Amino acid sequence: YASRNGSTAVESKHVHQALEAHRKRSNQTEERLQEMIDRGSIYVDTDGAVTGQVNGLAVYSMGDYSFGKPSRITAVTAMGKGGIINIEREADMSGPTHNKGIFILSGFLRRQFAQDKPLSLTASIAFEQNYGGIDGDSASSTELYALLSSLAEVPIRQDIAVTGSVNQKGEVQPIGGVNQKVEGFYLCCKHAGLTGNQGVMIPEPNVKDLMLRKEVVEAVKEGKFHIWSVENIEQGIEILTGVEAGTQGDEGKYPEESIYGKADARLIDLAEGLKKFGAGDEDKDEKKKKDGASCGCGK
């Protein structure tokens, strides 16, 4: 492009032109997926708020070209002792690193909510409309946000997409493909209509890796699109819900109206409900034993 323009040196505009030409030659699959999102065949929300649902981000590689696209992640919580069920794993569609990420979520919940009581919970997490294998832990923070939203029964903003892995202490860790992921969600929002509120939440350590297309940079400068960086789950859940995460007081309790306070109260309700149903079953078993003993039938 430098020689075509009669330039004696390669300038930044020539690099941008070459990158854009390469993208247009290689993005047929990307365009096809975007068309499916635009038509509503692939479910992606870019506005509103939903409980237990978050926009995750995935990177697709096609030879020497890679791109990002959002993927809906949902969580459902209920009474039981099953722990966290990874639906992808149950369907043999989950790799070892993704499985590890799910186990880490259980560790976080135990650390946060099970220091003074058992954790009585059955939850399921799924990548909706995923029909191929999935691996990596870059969505583990996203899965945790969906889980906390479901437990606390507080809706999550759908105009924000999330990426980042998490450890058992709730620290958000860096991931790969951050530029493709940001650009992928920007494109979805652009097609749906930019509102000035949409954006992507990334791990703080990934800020130094940002090298976005000029169009995205300009949109951020103009306030049409946003990029939030977070260091921990508390910062992230507050951005996604607008509700304080909550800090334990002197008695080890969280504020009632905080995310952690609501989640802790729900876990207590689930545990008490499970205990109640368990006691009912024990009473039925005891009654059957007494009835059998009094009939004198020898059975």
166 Rama sector, left if φ>0, alpha if ψ -120 to 50, beta otherwise = beta
Among the options 69, 181, 224, 262, which is catalytic? Answer: 181
- Nearest C-alpha neighbor of 150 from the set 53, 236, 57: 53
| Active-site entry in 120, 138, 141, 150 | 138
- Residues 16 and 185: their CA atoms lie apart, in Å, by 20
Q: Where are the domains of the chain?
A: 43-290
> 262 catalytic, yes or no?
no
**Nearest CA-CA partner of 123 in 175, 77, 71, 158:** 77
The pLDDT value given to residue 284: 56
Q: List pLDDT tens digits, range 66-115.
A: 999 999 999 999 999 999 999 999 999 999 999 999 999 999 999 999 99
pLDDT tens for 158-202 read: 999 999 999 999 999 999 999 999 999 999 999 999 999 999 999
Based on the residue annotation, tell me whether 181 is a catalytic residue of this protein: yes
CA distance 289 to 96: 47
Q: pTM higher than 0.75, yes or no?
A: yes
CATH number of the domain at 43-290, please? Answer: 3.30.230.10
Q: What is the pLDDT of residues 216-234, one digit of tens each?
A: 999 999 999 999 999 999 9
